[in-house]
A and B are shown apart, each in its own frame.
Chain A
Amino acid sequence: MSLTSDVRRKMYEVMVRSRAFDDRLTEQYWIDKKPIFAFGAGPLPGELHTSHGQEPVGAGVCAALLADDMITTGHRPHHIAVARGVDLKSLTAEIFGRKTGLSGGRGGHMHIYDKRVNFSSSGIIAEGLGPAAGMALARKMQGKPGIGISFIGEGAVNQGAFHEVMNIVGVFKLPFICVIEDNKYAVTTHKSASTATERNSDRATCYGMTGEFVSGNDPDLIYAAAERAVTRARTGGGGTILEVETARLLGHFMGDPGGYITGERKLYQVDPIPIYRRRLIDENILTEATASALELAVNTEVNEAMRFAAESPFPDPIDALNCTFAD
């Protein structure tokens, strides 16, 4: 694969879809949460971690993957799920706790599983690393194609699991990519206050892996780096730690005003979508008209998914007692 116009249009479309999805969810989330904010209130209860600003990472990396590849991710999964092609209606229904959701409402927004596209997310920091490496190991043992990709935040590198799994990946030369989404903040803690190195990709040397660092939250550069990592993984070249500087435009979770992001540190909060739109128009990949048409179509699709979820029934309470064990 290479960075064709089709790939770039597709990445833009995916970013717009993810943003529209998060915007609609945000509107729903605030219903019945004002003036008094409570996680449990309203039609969309629980914590909500939207992906505003991180869309290029999901779009850029997923554009470089094939259907056999396996993704695990964390508590902020929407942009990756959308980029991976998780069914939008089932995804939305899951987030609204409906029977028609991916997991029948047992998972919710942090626990998105779609086996059809080899996608899973888990709400505990760095927890997806081991499983993604294990999925890669399984395919290697079975002689089947597919690499493991785990998305984590920059804060997750300070979990022991990161060190343990990266070393295992290096020792066994597993076809694996660790994508670090560096949005600078682990909840409220700035990267500089938590992490002794500026670039976590530098750590790759210690694990017999390749390090890649991409700045600028630029989908084209992310795609190119991901493609290099994918090629290494597929050709026996081992694992990659791919760190991408991205932006978290909002708080850690919905309801966190992010007041701790002050002064110069606010400057990184640049919305990547209008920039990429401008670039694609300037380079004649899109026109104002085709961009608008694409945005309209995507928004219509997202609205339909929201309607599907809202009109779907809640699960039967007895369903809480199913699925603890496989029969």
Chain B
Amino acid sequence: MSTKEAAPWESPTLANASRTLTMCRAQREAVEWEMTNDPNVFMVGEDISGFGGVFGTADGLGAKFGLDRVIDMPISETGFMGLAAGAAMEGMRPIVELAYVDFIGVCFNALANFAAKTHFMSGGQFKVPMVLLTGTGAGYSNAAQHSQCMHATLAHMPGIKVVSPTNAYDAKGMMHTAIRDDNLVVFMVHKGASGVGFMGPLVKTSLADVPQGDYTVPFGKVKVYREGTDVSIVAVGLAVHHALQAAEELAKDGISAEVVDLRSLVPLDRDGIMESVAKTGRLVVADEDYLSYGVSGEVIATVVERDPTVLKAPARRVCVPDVSIPFSRPLEYSILPVASRIADAARAVMSNDRGKGRV
């Protein structure tokens, strides 16, 4: 089921006062609240206590909670991912900061072979409640090793929850949910939408009114940002904002696009995907991760496995076409799932309409 929440730039109807925040500030508030209210929550990472993390995820937390709870680590991701997992097994709730998800290769073993499998292999004896907070994404000429999304690489491994909020309201609520979850949660935020100053202009649709107090946003529910009747644009991460822009363009052509944010890849809201596609009959998936063997294929497989007859036309994918992220701006923008590519795909799906039942 999709949740019909207020659009993120509208005020959520919550009792406590709210302010418009960036994702980065909003999720940081959740971390601060949890650290204040649960002595087992602590943070480890590189350059977090004073600098606040490269993308501001720990800004001010070192000064507030001290170096014993906001622990600066050496450049030893294998070591401190394992460390966090062990601490989690003994009842702590570590939040590990890994500035760029691109670096996950050096500690993938500690995550995928240890943290993700311990609950299973121990038959439920040991829980590993830890959050890995990491930045994803391209669009600012940081080239092939600092621009990847890698949603699917993580989502593919059993035992890892993978979420990627796209607005400040969700970022805070999902961070509360992540910290309180008893599993390894990888919390992926697109750097371009996080609201960090040096990432360029703010993405307006990522800003939201955020309540002061704590609240949770559940995992495994899509968010319908914009309702439509002709085509579903199912997206993840920054591509959601590109899709919203594409929907504006399409509206000028008389095409009514529904924009669905997955928000959570594991667990995946397959019912929510199906509900939207069954309504519109057409599907475009937009994802900044690599095209093949990824989230976009999973979304389409969901529809095909449930009921391919809902599709009036073949689905299309707008992803990075299985190449590394180039440095040069025109090269980079040619392969990202920007609004024009999404709109083109939607138009193609519309013109490719072969009538319901003739898929």
A142 vs B74: C-alpha distance when bound (angstroms): 23
A168 vs B87: C-alpha distance when bound (angstroms): 14
**Whole-angstrom distance from the CB of A245 to the nearest CB of chain B?**
27
B124 touches A130 (CB 8 A): no
B159 touches A161 (CB 8 A): no
**Whole-angstrom distance from the CB of B25 to the nearest CB of chain A?**
27
Q: Looking across the interface, which residue of chain B has its beta carbon closest to that of A146?
A: B90
Q: Looking across the interface, which residue of chain B has its beta carbon closest to that of A108?
A: B121
A70 vs B89: C-alpha distance when bound (angstroms): 11
Q: Looking across the interface, which residue of chain A has its beta carbon closest to that of B110?
A: A130
Chain A residues near B82 (CB-CB < 8 A): 127, 129-131, 133-134, 161, 165
Chain B residues near A18 (CB-CB < 8 A): none
**Whole-angstrom distance from the CB of B142 to the nearest CB of chain A?**
25
Q: Looking across the interface, which residue of chain A has its beta carbon closest to that of B85?
A: A131
B125 touches A138 (CB 8 A): no
B122 touches A134 (CB 8 A): no
Q: Which of A77-85, A98-106, A275-283 contacts B (4 or more CB under 8 A)?
A: A98-106
A138 touches B87 (CB 8 A): yes
B80 within 8 A of A: yes
B213 within 8 A of A: no
Could you tell me which residues of chain B, from 49 to 95, have a CB within 8 Å of some CB in chain A?
A: 68-69, 71, 73-74, 76-92, 94
A127 touches B114 (CB 8 A): yes
A168 touches B92 (CB 8 A): no
B36 within 8 A of A: no
Q: A124-B109, A324-B119 are in contact. Are A138 and B92 (CB under 8 A)?
A: yes
Q: Which of A112-120, A236-244, A250-258, A259-267 contacts B (4 or more CB under 8 A)?
A: A112-120
Chain B residues near A175 (CB-CB < 8 A): none
B290 within 8 A of A: no
New contact pairs (18) apart from A141-B42, A164-B80, CB-CB < 8 Å: A70-B90, A102-B125, A103-B122, A104-B123, A113-B126, A127-B82, A131-B86, A132-B86, A134-B88, A134-B89, A137-B83, A160-B78, A160-B106, A167-B76, A167-B79, A168-B83, A323-B119, A325-B119
Question: Can you name 5 A-B pairs with beta carbons within 8 Å?
Answer: A122-B118, A127-B110, A130-B83, A132-B86, A135-B89
Chain B interface (Cβ < 8 Å from any Cβ of A): 40, 42, 68-69, 71, 73-74, 76-92, 94, 106, 109-110, 113-114, 118-129, 158-159, 161, 182-183
